[in-house]
Amino acid sequence: MTQSYIIGYAFVNTIDELYLVYNIYNSSIFSSFVLDDSGAMQWMTWVERNRRWSIFFSAPIDMCAVTAEHTLAVAQRTRWSAIVCRVSNPNLQPIGLKLPDTSMSLVDKNLSLNGCERGCLNNCSCTAYAPADITGEGSGCIAWFGNLMDIRYFSEGGDHLFLRVDAVELAAQARKDKGFFHNKRKVAILTVSLVVGLLLFAASVYGLLEKRKGSMEMRPRWHRILLLIKKFLQRMS
């Protein structure tokens, strides 16, 4: 029985059963543990002075602490071949991560990081890898297989994780991004050409009106129209 300031608890894990037992040292304290079907737990104590239950402890603190709540699903690899099996660029390693759950991983403390990369390249079931010695110089190897669960991003600190991606999908995304910027460039050129064309048209009309001999009453009216066109074009540009 492990003792603490308020409670004692025992964790039992055998072939036949798995359970947690706790007891309150002070029998005058009324306490309640509540665990719902979502995995959220609350430990509440009764405060006689206020005549209400007070939450002494609750878990998880946030949803990222729930296992499998933040899961990186790996795409189906049934059509992958040795040609398309690749990993992401090592120079683009994500940082500030909590490494995934290691229940579906293999660890080799004697393997270098380069050897870890080669091993992941040669196995299409490998989804990610990372150095095992995160406090040293990056020696050792952890390789994950299947979905990556329990990943978390930290604004500071964290570990490096090399994520494997489908080379075909990566190339398709690169072409898509390139096409997007290419289309934006075409739209910009078309817009500028249209504005310039309208300006030239307005200037031509204005020049013709200046040369045209007409009544003095018509000229100010056309002049006002051209000023309105000019203001409109300025707003558009």
Question: pLDDT tens across 147-169, in order?
Answer: 888 777 766 667 788 887 766 66
pLDDT higher for 235 or 213?
235
65 within a domain of the structure (yes/no): no
pLDDT digits (tens, 9 = 90+) for 87-126: 444 434 455 678 888 888 898 888 888 898 888 888 888 8
pLDDT higher for 136 or 150?
150
178 within a domain of the structure (yes/no): no
Say whether pLDDT at 210 is over 70.
no
SS3 category, 129: strand
Same domain, 99 and 137: yes
193 within a domain of the structure (yes/no): yes
Same domain, 153 and 198: no
Same domain, 92 and 143: yes
- Whole-number pLDDT of residue 184: 66
pLDDT digits (tens, 9 = 90+) for 162-199: 887 766 666 676 667 665 555 666 667 777 777 777 77
CB contact set of 157 (below 8 Å; sequence gap of 6+): 96
64 within a domain of the structure (yes/no): no
Same domain, 92 and 128: yes
Same domain, 92 and 114: yes
Average pLDDT taken over every residue of the chain: 70
Same domain, 199 and 219: yes
Q: Specify the number of domains making up the chain.
A: 3
Same domain, 108 and 164: yes
Specify the length of the chain in residues.
237
- Whole-number pLDDT of residue 28: 79
Q: Contact, 25 vs 7, CB < 8 A?
A: yes
210 within a domain of the structure (yes/no): yes
Picking from 154, 104, 105, the residue whose alpha carbon sits closest to that of residue 130 is 105
66 within a domain of the structure (yes/no): no
Same domain, 166 and 75: yes
| Structural domain harbouring 202 | 184-236
Same domain, 103 and 162: yes
78 within a domain of the structure (yes/no): yes
| Alpha helices, DSSP H, located in 34-166 | 113-121
pTM summary value: 0.43
- Whole-number pLDDT of residue 62: 59
